[in-house]
Amino acid sequence: MKVAIKDIPAEGLHLNIAENGSELQTIAGKTDFCILSPVSADIALFKTDEEIIAQGSMAALLILQCSRCLKEFEYKISSKIENIYTLMPEQGIKERGLTRKDAGINYLEGSEIDINAFLFEQLSLDMPMQPVCKSDCKGLCPRCGADRNTTPCDCREEGDARLAKLKSLLA
């Protein structure tokens, strides 16, 4: 879905979106998360002479991989949207040797806003850096690779024994 800047009226444009997750996934390409459809968003676009202001919220259901036990789990993400785009002709961006993301300012290239790309950008920003399936996930044993949540292994006791020895040495 694309919105032409010239089509944004003076009173603003309200978008109520339910984007197919698979379409966003196409933009995402090969990422370490999977989007379950649909991605819903409520966005208001306002236009001034120099800027486009986007305000609203979005929510999506994702499948992430736990950074500790590597299991896949569902993760609900909801983001607040508050973006300002500076309108600058493509020529102006090139002349200044800038990219869209320079200095944290979003420069809008061209004459339209790609809503799917916009939503995906938001998702990426709010993605947890180290997702965990549950806050007390025990992760995998670094020695034998067993999932410590379900399979207690002997190496762990050995580790504990060594730790106890270390503690007694330090005591």
Angstrom distances, CA of residue 6 to CA of 20, 32, 45, 138 = 25, 36, 12, 53
| Closest approach of Zn ion to the CB of residue 135, in Å | 10
| Closest approach of Zn ion to the CB of residue 150, in Å | 10
Residue 47 or 68 with smaller CB distance to Zn ion? 68
Q: Rounded to an integer, what distance in angstroms lies between the CA atom of residue 63 and that of residue 73?
A: 5
Residue 150 or 168 with smaller CB distance to Zn ion? 150
149 close to 137: Cβ distance less than 8 angstroms? yes
Which residues, other chains included, contact 67 with Cβ-Cβ below 8 Å and sequence gap of 6+?
A: 130, 131, 132
Residue 60: Cβ-neighbour burial (10 angstroms; 0-12, 13-18, 19+): buried
Distance of CA 11 to the CA centre of its chain: 30
Distance of CA 108 to the CA centre of its chain: 20
| Closest approach of Zn ion to the CB of residue 168, in Å | 23
Residue type, 23: E
By CB under 5 A, name the binding residues for Zn ion. 66, 68-69, 133, 137, 141, 143-144, 146, 153, 155
| Closest approach of Zn ion to the CB of residue 36, in Å | 19
| Closest approach of Zn ion to the CB of residue 60, in Å | 21
Structural tokens at position 23 = 């379409």
Residue 92 or 145 with smaller CB distance to Zn ion? 145
Residue 38 or 139 with smaller CB distance to Zn ion? 139
Q: Rounded to an integer, what distance in angstroms lies between the CA atom of residue 47 and that of residue 34?
A: 33
